[in-house]
Amino acid sequence: MLQKCIKCGKTYDVDEIIYTCECGGLLEIVYDYEEIKNKISKETLRKRQIGVWRYLEYLPVKDERKIVTLFEGGTPLYRCKNLEKELGVKELYVKNEGANPTGSFKDRGMTVGVTRANELGVEVVGCASTGNTSASLAAYSARSGKKCIVLLPEGKVALGKLAQAMFYGAKVIQINGNFDDALEMVKQLAREKLIYLLNSINPFRLEGQKTIGFEICDQLNWQVPDRVIVPVGNAGNISAIWKGFREFEATGIIDELPKMTGIQAEGAKPIVEAFKRKAKDITPYKNPETIATAIRIGNPVNAPKALEAIYSSGGYAEAVSDEEIVEAQKLLARKEGIFVEPASASSIAGLKKLLDEGIVDRDERIVCITTGHGLKDPDAAIRASEEPIKIECDIDVLKKILKED
Ligand SMILES: Cc1ncc(COP(=O)(O)O)c(C=O)c1O
Ligand SMILES: N[C@@H](CCOP(=O)(O)O)C(=O)O
């Protein structure tokens, strides 16, 4: 097991605390896949409880006693028959990551990232966040007794997420700047070794998130979807999920791969623009803006990994407007009973748009990832809903209302 630069191929020991290569390239964790293949089979995996740690041999942990867990993963993969009818597709699933312990997919990353921090003997962890990363890191650092510092863009973090970070006991610092500014600041703290950084630039964190790909195969009885659609912000998740599929292929668990499809918001779409230019580099946005605050990111650190995932899987990247996001959020809640935060609904909005554009075939088996719980952002949900009806305590008035549509 090593850390390897995706740009120049240089390798580093896993115990070296380093976030990018000397050449500036992003790092990823590589394993001896033949060794994993000899240890693991579908049957052995199935004997264990579903969740991130079912896939232990694929995870960068040396000492199991150091694992910090809140029982993350094992999230539902819903077949969505009502949406299939509504959108005119043959087979549609939603992988609902809002069902994780703190309500987002970040918990998969943090169980592994904070376990690594434990193994390294780190005492102070930190991150920049649009909300979910901070909520999750605050919870896992509380559980492992570490000090936690989170930097947030003031006024742009959904209420539920802010409440979580504060309540789990993190030191919460709001900056007069956006997420990208906050990330630059915590990267500086990490370079000076004042914190162990647990944003997705840390390759160990992404190892936990790749288990979304593992679980999708597992829950589809080892079949592989034609396409996986993922909301994209800092671009770690789409890269991680793709790595999961590739590793299952490398170890003989699956023999096909899905088309990775990333969705961004119109006001923050540097990856979509790069994809449409067929480029490998992005042009960052200085002032990203969208109702989907979780993906209000102008300079995604994992852009090279995400673009590689999209290009080499034959996938696609598209942007959706705030109106399309809210419409999709409502559709998912009202047709399937699944309440997600706005950023999460971009995968559904993106699917609808790509079907209309003829990019996605109606016969495909599709999995949309919904990344965070709807209760994270109650303000957005209330703004998008009809006002409750107010009446006096009058039974006749109530009966009259009951008869209305
Ligand atoms: C709810 C939600 N959806 C999507 C994303 C985007 O994920 P990524 O940054 O890995 O692209 C985030 C945060 O980054 C998020 O919190
Ligand atoms: N949406 C994210 C943004 C940070 O992404 P990360 O994956 O690099 O931590 C958040 O929840 O803060």
Q: For 178-222, how does the pLDDT look when each residue is reduced to its tens digit (9 = 90+)?
A: 999 999 999 999 999 999 999 999 999 999 999 999 999 999 999
Is residue 405's pLDDT more than 90? no
Query: Does 234 contact ligand 2 (Cβ within 6 A)?
Result: yes
Residue 70 falls within a domain, yes or no?
no
| Amino acid 98: pLDDT | 98
CATH number reported for the structural domain that contains residue 256 in this entry? 3.40.50.1100
Q: How many independent structural domains does the chain possess?
A: 2
Range of the domain at 26: 1-30
The residues, ordered by sequence, that sit 6+ positions from 39 with a Cβ below 8 Å of its Cβ are 57
With 0.90 as the threshold, say if the pTM is over it. yes
The torsion of the CA quartet 158, 102, 125, 179, rounded to 10 degrees, works out to: -20
- DSSP state at residue 385: S
Residue 390 falls within a domain, yes or no?
no
Residue 186 falls within a domain, yes or no?
no
Residue 315 falls within a domain, yes or no?
yes
Residue 176 falls within a domain, yes or no?
no
Q: Does one domain contain both 352 and 269?
A: yes
**Per-residue model confidence as pLDDT tens digits over 249-293:** 999 999 999 999 999 999 999 999 999 999 999 999 999 999 999
Q: Does one domain contain both 23 and 87?
A: no
Nearest to 241 by CA among 220, 260, 218: 260
Residue 319 falls within a domain, yes or no?
yes
Residue 289 Cα to ligand 1 middle (Å): 15
Strands 11-12 and 27-30: unpaired
Residue 17 falls within a domain, yes or no?
yes
**Per-residue model confidence as pLDDT tens digits over 336-352:** 999 999 999 999 999 99
Residue 129 Cα to ligand 1 middle (Å): 10
Q: Does one domain contain both 255 and 334?
A: yes
Q: What is the mean pLDDT of residues 381-404?
A: 97
Handedness of CA 227, 235, 98, 344 (dihedral sign): negative
Residue 38 falls within a domain, yes or no?
no
Counting ligands in written order, the one closest to the CA of 371 is: 1
Residue 74 Cα to ligand 1 middle (Å): 19
Write down the mean pLDDT value for the chain. Answer: 98
Nearest residue (by CA) to ligand 2, atom 1, is: 294
Q: Does one domain contain both 85 and 16?
A: no
- Is 235 annotated in some ligand binding site? yes
| Amino acid 271: pLDDT | 98
